[in-house]
Structure formats: structure tokens, C-alpha cells
Amino acid sequence: MLTASSAGRVDNLHALRLRFMQMEDRYRKQALEMGCALVSLVDVRDAYTGSHSSRVATYAHATGLRLGLAHTELDQIVMASLLHDIGQIGVPDHILLKQAGLGPGESIQVQKHPELGWMALKNIEDFKPIGLIVLHHHERMDGSGYPNGLKGDEIPLGSRIIAVAHSYDALTTNRPYRAARTKQQAFDELLRCCKSQFDPSVLDAFMDAMNTKRNSSSNASFGRSYDHADGSDFLLLPTSPAE
Ligand SMILES: [Fe+2]
């Protein structure tokens, strides 16, 4: 039987635990709001980049689910997908929006965008792991990517997922200089670059997710599922933190 003083201690502990849970909820909400504010900056910078990032996030989420990733890691990868090109804010318009090929100096400026994104995110405590994923999303499995020439498993898993997702989206989207490839043509191109550029197990999970009708709503922690044009179900991301 509890004495009055021990019952009081239990009540205090319960109140304290409740307080910590409320603080944690508020902290997570603030982090998500900050992420959404940063995402809106990407949208403002370039309409293509904004919609590209949302599609990359849906592909990355489906791939992460297929790989059986935990919710926390999946959330970080989705947020990193939305922000992966945020560093393009630091690339001048006349280069970013150029429709013809880039000169050598211009390519170097474009290739700085992962580091610029990392610099923007690294000082926010909750966004450090997200910033690392952003930093390495242009690395390649054979070490020929940038900025650090990381190889294989040295590349964060989230970056390897985004590498596949953003390449697929780039291939299947109409660009000023070429028409969109079909899904099968894009798959063929990704498979051609498997091992040299992409992680085979990630590519396998991505293609599996793209080919399989599934309901991701039960696992979606950032939003709800919707029917993708090609028949796969993918995550529809919220446009505001309240959604
Ligand atoms: Fe990029």
C-alpha cells in the first residue's frame, strides 16, 4: 500500500513524464515546421526543383519502406529528399536555368550545391543527419561522384536511396533539352549504371516498389498515400506542417 508521500512522488513522476512528452511533441513539431519552411524555399527557387524534390521524396519513402527501415530513419530520408537540392539556392539563375550545356566553370558551381545544402543544415541540431544525407547525394558507388568521392557503404544509405530516386525522376521528366523517357527506358538506364553509380540492393528495392501495388498509408508518418500515375501507391507529402 502506498503511503501519502510515496503516492505524491508517483504523481510528480507522472506529471514530469507527461511534461517531457509534451516538450518532445512540441520540439518535433517545431523541427517539422522548420523543415517545411526550408522546403518552401526550394519551391520558390525553381518550380521544377520543388516538384522534383517532392517526387524524389515519394520514391525514397517507398524504397525505404521496401528496405524495412525504421520510422526515424525513414523520416530523415524523406526530409533529406525534400531538401536535397536546397543548396541550389546558392547557384546563380543564369547557370541553374540554362537550357544548353554547362561550361566547365559552370559545372563546378552546380556541383557545389550538396556542400551548400550541408552548410545550411549542419548547424541545426536535428538536421545534422539530414544534412549529411544531402551532402553525399551525388556520390557514386565506384567513388567517382562528388563532393568526397566516397565509395560503396561509405555513402550514407539515405544518399544512396536519393541517388536512385532523383536519377529516375530526372529521366522520366520532360526537360527543355529532351523528352521524358518511359518507365522501362529509365529502368534500363538505371540498371546500366548499377554497381558503378547505384547501390544494387537499393535499386532492387526501388524497382520492386515501383512495380508493386501497395498501400503505404499504414506506414506513412509524413502524410498519406495516393495513386501514382503508373499504378504504384506513393506517399503524398503535406504542403504544410498542419496537414
Ligand atoms: Fe542534386
Which tens digits make up the pLDDT trace of 168-221? 999 998 877 778 999 999 999 999 999 899 999 999 999 999 998 544 433 333
| 243 inside domain | no
Q: Where are the alpha helices (DSSP H) in the chain?
A: 4-45, 47-66, 71-83, 93-96, 104-110, 113-121, 128-135, 157-171, 183-192, 200-211
The residue behind cell 512495380 is 211
Angle between helices 200-211 and 47-66 (to 10 degrees): 100
Whichever domain contains 93, its CATH number is 1.10.3210.10
- Summarize pLDDT for 4-48 with one digit per residue, the tens: 666 676 677 777 677 767 766 777 777 778 887 888 777 777 666
The residue behind cell 524534390 is 53
Beta-bridge mates of residue 175: 178
Report the separation in Å between the CA atom of 17 and the middle of ligand 1, taken as the mean of its atom positions.
42
| 176 inside domain | yes
Domain range for 209: 43-236
DSSP state of 198: B
Report the separation in Å between the CA atom of 158 and the middle of ligand 1, taken as the mean of its atom positions.
13
Report the separation in Å between the CA atom of 116 and the middle of ligand 1, taken as the mean of its atom positions.
11
| 9 inside domain | no
Q: Are the CB atoms for 53 and 82 separated by under 8 Å?
A: yes
Report the separation in Å between the CA atom of 76 and the middle of ligand 1, taken as the mean of its atom positions.
17
CB atoms within 10 A of CB 118: 21
| 205 inside domain | yes
Report whether pLDDT(101) > 60.
Answer: yes
pTM: predicted TM-score of the whole model, two decimal places: 0.77
| 49 inside domain | yes
Report the separation in Å between the CA atom of 144 and the middle of ligand 1, taken as the mean of its atom positions.
15
| 168 inside domain | yes
Report the separation in Å between the CA atom of 195 and the middle of ligand 1, taken as the mean of its atom positions.
19
Report the separation in Å between the CA atom of 84 and the middle of ligand 1, taken as the mean of its atom positions.
6
| 10 inside domain | no
| 7 inside domain | no
Domain count, the chain: 1
First to last CA, the chain: 47
Report the separation in Å between the CA atom of 88 and the middle of ligand 1, taken as the mean of its atom positions.
8
